[in-house]
Chains A and B, each alone.
Chain A
């Protein structure tokens, strides 16, 4: 498995911590977004990177977390709401994990997409039923505080991924990826492990969603459950290539950096540039960025 040395990670963390002093307020918002995508992509990889169960509906956890924070705004202390957001997302994953993870391959991919859309519409209906058409979040913490929170979540996701990889769960997941039936025969509790990975991959995105809700002062289900978030996560993970931590981390950072650079340089046509970049990437780096790391074996 490709590995990224702890030294490199610490250096990255040090740089990230220094951002509020080095960059202006806009720079901090950019770094917050970068941390957000790292947290989301690394968390996603807990399931998608290890077992190749590609979830294309991961925004459902993000959205649930955002909803909880928006719905309890003002009534519940923020830190509690954020923790609750992670808990809600994890609980939801545990609830649907068992039936959902029985579905395999491409069917799973689209099932997760459908599941995210289902939850989105349920929330829309719920909000309409409650007569809650404008959930405003004025007076939310911003700037450096928010950045610190997001960075903490990114670190948490990396720590979690690191821990899982070295654990029995991680080894079991790798076995599942190689050959699920064989793993089952050998005694790996595949259902339990898959659901555990799914739930673990949901918790941080839930909290990320909660924090993200604070950035836009207005909660709206279509925005909070937008499929674009899911697609971006998967794209970043694919760009990064497989690898417990290194792949998704690099994928998220690189794609984010490329996107920001293009956006700043060619504001009107940067998305076209991004599209071309993606296509070119596949042609020239078919195994993802992790392929460039020194690794134990392919």
Chain B
């Protein structure tokens, strides 16, 4: 019982939740808003990790500084894809409803290309760096500096993004897009600009997450897929397009995993994660914070 209430466990939930939240938020901004089924989201995380790795290895650049670089590069990639592909696809949607299906193909193709190009360029051997790995004690809780940094930066990124969108006019525009795309256009929302912002932010957050993760994980070209799955689980649990809901869902899932394990046994960690996910959706088909789903 002490373990359950311990600050140590709470810290672990916070760190894991922050990662889930930031990865999920990125996907929510792409799938939740534009219904682009980005099954390559994890590959963006992977690219961010490599950016941080090479930055650190070649230039001694801390991943904390590499993170904004990774975010920027990922955002640029998103914008390029938007201009080259997605804008056309989004505009063509309405006839045949194949947007999601086609976007799945595009992103799948993209993820395959990214994985294999990375493998060719960097070899598939795993890489790792050592940075901020000292353990400090904060109020009786042991924290590895890099995990604390991940927590703080990820939370800041999520909070910053949501605040930016809530306070700025673009936030309203994105909300409008999520709620009703055609109406948004009629009402005068600059759909193109809003979509650009959304995809840039979405991709950027993924890149940022990857750079942070480089401090605590092995980096390899095929490391992305688990993050794709986690991101989807998080945003669906939170309600598609519900940005704050998705962030909350990230922490909920982390809590389920960590506290669930404390209450049962470590062997059930994944069963709990997916079990809770399935159960919640079956009971509440629109996710935790979603409105009654519109297909």
Contacts and interface: CB of A to CB of B under 8 A. Distances in A.
Asked if A and B form a direct contact in the complex, defined as CB atoms under 8 angstroms apart, the reply is yes
Contacts of A268: 120
Given A114-B277, A122-B271, A279 B120 contact: no
Given A107-B287, A118-B275, A235-B108, A272 B98 contact: no
A35 interface: no
Q: Range of interface residues on chain A?
A: 35 or more
B218 interface: no
Contacts of B286: 107
Interface stretch (B57-65, B66-74, B111-119, B139-147): B111-119
Interface in A103-141: 103-107, 109-111, 113-115, 117-118, 121-122, 125, 128
B160 to A, nearest CB: 26
Contacts of B117: 272
Contacts of B138: none
Interface stretch (B162-170, B173-181, B229-237): B229-237
B205 to A, nearest CB: 19
B35 interface: yes
Contact of B109 (A99, A110, A269, A278): A278
A106 B240 CA distance: 8
A189 to B, nearest CB: 19
Given A279-B105, A287-B96, A110 B85 contact: no
B25 to A, nearest CB: 16
B295 interface: yes
B274 A114 contact: yes
Interface in B80-96: 85, 89, 92, 96
Contact of B113 (A110, A235, A238, A272): A272
Interface string B204-225: 0000000000000000000001
Given A114-B274, A269-B120, A278 B285 contact: no
Contacts of A77: none
Main secondary structure of the interface of B (DSSP, over half): helix
Contacts of A286: 89, 92, 96, 98, 102
Interface string A39-61: 00000000000001010000000
Contacts of A282: 85, 89, 102, 105-106, 109
Contacts of A292: none
Contacts of B135: none
Interface of B: 31, 35, 37, 39, 85, 89, 92, 96-98, 100-102, 104-106, 108-113, 115-117, 120, 225, 229, 232-233, 236, 240, 267-268, 270-271, 274-275, 277-278, 281-282, 285-287, 293-295
Interface of A: 52, 54, 99-100, 102-107, 109-111, 113-115, 117-118, 121-122, 125, 128, 227, 231, 234-235, 238-239, 268-269, 271-272, 274-279, 281-283, 286-288, 298
10 contacts: A54-B100, A100-B282, A107-B293, A114-B236, A227-B229, A238-B102, A276-B109, A279-B110, A281-B105, A286-B92
